[in-house]
Structure 1
Amino acid sequence: MIIVDQLGIAKDALHVYVGLTLFLTSAALLRWPLSSWRPWLVALAGALAGEAWDLRDSLVYDSPIRLAANLKDVINTIIWPTVLMLLARHTAMLRRH
């Protein structure tokens, strides 16, 4: 929440940024093609780790667990990595020439 407050962005937007950052950074650093499952899995792992942390906080601070909100966060995190991966796989748009 500190990052959301400091940057002045919505929490949902932060999920999108994190997903894209994990996807693109892992692909670039490890020289994986965007069409590969590997950078997508990095983004998914980041999304699931973040939601595990949120669930842990809910238990520690005795706040309600909202699984629908957790699912929405995972989807927000991986939606654009999924779109980019599919575009790289099925179109010429993201292929190297």
Structure 2
Amino acid sequence: MSPLQAIKFWLIQHLGLAKDALHVHVGLLLFVGSALLFRWPLRSWKPWAVALAATLLGEAWDLRDSLVYHTRIDLWGNLHDVWNTMLWPSLFVVLARTTRLFGGQAARR
């Protein structure tokens, strides 16, 4: 088992989260955390790109682990993980750009 898989299983076990919930939480943490850390507005593509890059790297690592440890490759499962991780960051960017909810451009019109 790779270090990434060990960390994921540890988090799932000790936080009481399902694997899908872990993806949702990580996506939100990366999106909001990078926006706060770098003072990027939520309407910016940058925090979304941070979440997407981490998601794709994580899924690439999962695929690598499947090859190295001779486990089943589940591309639909990987796509499902990307969907779970990126849903809320994507919706937040759209809402920040099109509504007044986050004080974005729509609020200044």
Q: Scaled by the length of structure 2, what TM-score is found?
A: 0.85
Largest Rg, 1 or 2: 2
Deviation, 1:91, is 0.2
Separation (CA, whole Å) in 1 of partners of 2:73 and 2:101: 40
Separation (CA, whole Å) in 2 of partners of 1:41 and 1:75: 14
Identity of aligned residues (%): 58
Q: Which runs of 5+ in 2 are unaligned?
A: 1-8
Moved beyond 4 Å, runs of 4+: none
Q: Quote the residue 1:5 is aligned against.
A: 13
The answer to whether the aligner puts 1:69 opposite 2:77 as a matched pair is yes
The answer to whether the aligner puts 1:91 opposite 2:108 as a matched pair is no
Higher relative contact order (CA 8 A, sep 6+): 1
Separation (CA, whole Å) in 1 of partners of 2:78 and 2:38: 29
Separation (CA, whole Å) in 2 of partners of 1:33 and 1:14: 24
Q: Aligned pair count?
A: 97
